[in-house]
Amino acid sequence: MKDILTAPFMVEMIRTATNMYAHGWDERNGGNISLMLEENEVREYLDPEKALRTILTGFAAPELEGKYFLVTGTGKYFKNVQYAPEVNLGIVRLKDRGQQADLLWGYADGGQFTSEFPAHMMSHAARLKVNPENRVVMHCHPANLLAMTYVHDLDEKQFTRTLWQMCTECIVVFPEGVNVLPWMLCGTNEIGEATAEKMKTARLVVWSQHGIYGAGKDLDETFGLIETAEKAAEIYMKIAHLPRVNTITDDQMHLLEKRFGVKAREGWLD
Nearest to 108 by CA among 123, 120, 90: 90
Max CA-CA distance within the chain? 63
The alpha helices in 84-209, defined as continuous H runs, are 85-88, 117-130, 143-151, 156-166, 170-173, 189-199
The alpha helices in 200-248, defined as continuous H runs, are 219-239
The length of the chain, given as a count of residues: 270
Tell me the C-alpha distance between 270 and 253, whole Å: 10
Is the CB of residue 156 less than 8 Å from the CB of residue 180?
A: yes
C-alpha torsion 10→18→54→66, nearest 10: -50
**Catalytic position from the list 44, 116, 193, 221:** 116
Among this protein's residues, is 12 annotated catalytic? no
Nearest to 66 by CA among 89, 52, 49: 49
The alpha helices in the chain, defined as continuous H runs, are 8-22, 39-43, 85-88, 117-130, 143-151, 156-166, 170-173, 189-199, 219-239, 250-260
CB-based burial, 104-117: b 16+ in 10 Å, e otherwise: bbbbeeebbbbbbb
Give the catalytic positions in this structure.
Answer: 116
